[in-house]
Amino acid sequence: MIFKNILGIFALLAVVFITGCSHINVTKTEIGLTPQQQEQGVQVTSDGTKYIIDPNKIQGGGPGKGGIGVDRGIPALAEKNIKFVSVEEADEWIEDNELVLALVYKNEKRVYPLQILVWHEIANDVVAGDSLLITYCPLCGSGIAYERQVKIDGKKAETRFGTSGKLYNSNLVMYDEETDTYWQQIDGKAIVGELTGQELKEISIDTVSWGTWKAAHQDSEVLSQDTGMKRNYGRDPYGNYYEDSFLIFPVENEDEDNKIHPKTQIVGIEINGKYKAYIRDELKKGKVIKDNLAGTNIKMEKLEDDRIVIINEDTNQEIIKEEDMWFAWYAFHPETELYQK
């Protein structure tokens, strides 16, 4: 009976895929490609829509287009929904073994519990006066932060982001409020619409355990459950998805060699067009890993508060990382290397 129910769910998802592919709602423009877009290989559909990912490969994920600060679909949090409480207050409803996103930005420390983000996926926050985009895709285990700044008609502009209700490579596809362009969460690239080819500036953020973080950073601000939207925070709607090797949605590139479990959490970096992944659980506190990628010497260290810091030893600058499930990183970067001890 359980098996039949699962088959029924898969059949329903297949229908969602088809309907999602045939009704992609994106910005249409008759404007020609910029020189930069031409260099990037941006193409244009017969109706004038710009793209670097074929719109037919972008699939419906079930819910429709989400609101921004409005309870529709998977609703992104806007400033009015974002409040913060102290570590002491948050400790009453966050378990020590729960995962949270930890941000240290311009001397401010903020925590975004995954028990909240799993229901919203996007928080349009302002930190130290800067507009930031905090994102989490439950299907890919990817918590990533960006600046909320794009270029429109050659000028910098701040915008807010929402969930499109679509997926590419099982990954969250976002839209910006100004142009309705589609952006993939992993790598932060605009893939369909007016701003196609642009890339958001990534900000360092870490996925850590609450118990470890609170012990080290009692002065942090923690995103409150008081979002103004009724959700069962503390209950994860994805159940045991994170341990099961099965993928609900298809991806373009799969690791056919099965190097590691597809949902193993990895830390991924890119240097000069070369990619490499490191298994997160193999990074031990106090142990420094030295490696070389694309001719660049790097140093990686896991701190006592669970953060992972990667330094370009040639320039002494931080290398911004992404933390994803292995299958998701590989789907976008099939040429990636995998660090071996």
Residue 39's pLDDT band, with cuts at 50, 70 and 90, is: confident
Cβ-proximal residues to 103 (8 Å cutoff; 6+ apart), any chain:
109, 110, 111, 112, 127, 132, 134, 145, 203, 204, 205, 206
Torsion 98-104-107-108 (CA) sign? negative
DSSP annotation of 52:
S
pLDDT at 4 over 90: no
Q: Is 121 in contact with 143 (CB distance < 8 Å)?
A: no
pLDDT at 282 over 50: yes
What dihedral do alpha carbons 122, 157, 197, 45 form, nearest 10°? 90
- 187: closest CA among 40, 335, 332? 332
Distances in whole angstroms, Cα of residue 333 to Cα of each of 215, 223, 281: 36, 32, 21
Give SS3 for 161: strand
Total Cβ atoms within 10 A of residue 94: 25
Q: Is 112 in contact with 120 (CB distance < 8 Å)?
A: no
The pLDDT of residue 7: 38
DSSP H helical segments within the chain, as ranges? 2-22, 35-39, 87-90, 114-120, 210-216, 326-332
What is the residue extent of each domain of the chain?
2-203, 251-338
What mean pLDDT do residues 25-37 have?
61
Q: Is 307 in contact with 206 (CB distance < 8 Å)?
A: yes
pLDDT at 195 over 70: yes
Q: Is 222 in contact with 98 (CB distance < 8 Å)?
A: no
- 328: closest CA among 259, 265, 241? 265
**HSE-up (13 A, CA, CB side) for residue 230:** 0
- The one-letter code for the residue type at 188 is G
pLDDT tens digit sequence for 58-73: 999 889 999 999 999 9
What percent of the chain lies above the pLDDT cut of 70?
Answer: 91
The pLDDT of residue 13: 42
Total Cβ atoms within 10 A of residue 247: 18
Say what the pTM is.
0.89
The pLDDT of residue 31: 54
What percent of the chain lies above the pLDDT cut of 90?
Answer: 85
pLDDT tens digit sequence for 287-334: 999 999 999 999 999 999 999 999 999 999 999 999 999 999 999 999
As given in the structure block, the two tokens for residue 49 are 């829509």
Residue 265's pLDDT band, with cuts at 50, 70 and 90, is: very high
Residues in the chain: 341
As given in the structure block, the two tokens for residue 90 are 């948050």
The pLDDT of residue 16: 38
**Dist. CA 69–CA 76, nearest whole Å:** 6
pLDDT tens digit sequence for 214-245: 999 999 999 999 999 999 999 999 999 999 99
Give SS3 for 324: strand
